[in-house]
């Protein structure tokens, strides 16, 4: 692989990643959170395959080509790649948790509305 002489910022910008502005955490952005969860739910095997391929490339470099001073960085790269998988799982679990909470809230509202109707009906019957 030929590496261009660019800064990290330029390298990332060419790939659609901008470090110049802080981003909102994905759990605070419902739309992005749901997109990540849907991608994982729909394409988990493909996402795993891409990340595992990169892990294998880094592992090979670590074991066969790395200079001693590169070992720590490459090991950290492996950890970070694994954390990407973890983040997909966290996003999916958070979406499921929010859906369940919303369903429970809706059930409570329905029960409260039913109780109000029953109380109103009881009040009408007692006034007759």
Mean pLDDT of 69-74: 94
How confident is the model at residue 2, as a pLDDT? 47
More confident residue, 49 or 1: 49
Report yes or no: 66 and 57 within 8 Å, Cβ to Cβ: no
- The mean pLDDT of 64-75, rounded to a whole number, is 94
Q: What angle do CA 15, 26, 92 make, to 5 degrees?
A: 105
Question: Is the pLDDT reported for residue 121 higher than 80?
Answer: no
Summarised one tens digit per residue, pLDDT across range 4-59 is 578 888 888 888 888 777 788 898 999 999 999 999 999 999 999 999 999 999 99
| Segment 50-79 mean pLDDT | 95
pTM: 0.71
What pLDDT sits at residue 110?
A: 77
Burial class (CB in 10 A: 0-12, 13-18, 19+), 37: buried
């Amino acid at each position: 692989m030929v590496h261009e002489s660019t800064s990290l910022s330029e390298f990332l910008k060419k790939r659609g990643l901008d470090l110049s502005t802080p981003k909102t955490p994905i759990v605070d952005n419902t739309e992005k959170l749901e997109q990540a969860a849907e991608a994982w739910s729909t394409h988990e095997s493909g996402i795993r395959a891409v990340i595992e391929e990169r892990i294998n490339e880094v592992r090979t470099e670590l074991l066969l080509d790395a200079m001693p001073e590169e070992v720590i960085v490459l090991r950290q790269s492996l950890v970070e790649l694994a954390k990407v998988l973890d983040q997909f799982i966290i996003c999916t679990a958070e979406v499921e948790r929010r859906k369940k909470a919303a369903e429970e809230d809706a059930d409570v509202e329905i029960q409260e509305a039913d109780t109000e109707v029953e109380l109103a009906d009881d009040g009408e019957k007692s006034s007759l």
